[in-house]
Amino acid sequence: MRILGLDVGDKRIGVAVSDEMGITAQGLKTLNRENVAEDVADIGEIIKDYAVKRVVVGLPRNMNGTYGEQAEKVKEFVAELKKVAAIEVVYQDERLTTVAAERTLLQGNVSRKKRKGVIDKIAAVMILQGYLDSARL
What confidence tens digit (pLDDT) does each residue in 117-129 have?
Answer: 677 898 899 999 9
* pTM score of the predicted model: 0.88
**C-beta separation of 5 from 16 below 8 A:** yes
Neighbours of 76 (CB within 10 A): 12
Exposed/middle/buried for residue 104 (C-beta within 10 Å: 0-12, 13-18, 19+): middle
**C-beta separation of 94 from 63 below 8 A:** no
Domains annotated on the chain, with CATH: 2-136 (3.30.420.140)
Enumerate residue ranges in the chain where pLDDT < 50. Answer: none
Exposed/middle/buried for residue 91 (C-beta within 10 Å: 0-12, 13-18, 19+): middle
List pLDDT tens digits, range 96-112: 676 667 677 667 766 66
